[in-house]
Amino acid sequence: MKTASVIEGEVAIFAAKEKDKGVVVLLVASKDERIRRETQKIHAPEFVALKELEERDREVAKITKRLYGVDISKLPPFDVAINTERIPPEKIVKIISLLHEKEKTEKA
């Protein structure tokens, strides 16, 4: 029985490179929303949160370029992107579950 796993952060970029990668989903939000969330998470001023996000984004872009040889802003290694500002978490879980089930049945 194959189980679903959710891998997030930089490690997910490495996992996506595997041949039998499953469905790779990118969760996106606007820069303003990401700054707001980061500010709440780290309890710091917006300019600190912005700096953290920009640094993280540069690192992800660098890793993606090294692993895939692509500019993540032009050709991301994702199967689906979901806007987390428009779609609530419970619907995101359902979407990912449906994608996982479809993939499972196609491989069976």
Instruction: Report DSSP letters for 29-80, one per residue.
Output: --HHHHHHHHHHHHT--HHHHHHHHHHHHHHHHHHHHHHHSS-TTTS-S-SE
Q: Give the total number of structural domains in the chain.
A: 1
Residue 1 lies in a domain: no
Model pTM above 0.85: no
Residue 3 lies in a domain: no
Range of the domain at 53: 10-107
Residue 57 lies in a domain: yes
Residue 4 lies in a domain: no
Better pLDDT: 17 or 25: 25
Question: 42-64, pLDDT tens digit by residue?
Answer: 999 999 999 999 999 999 889 88
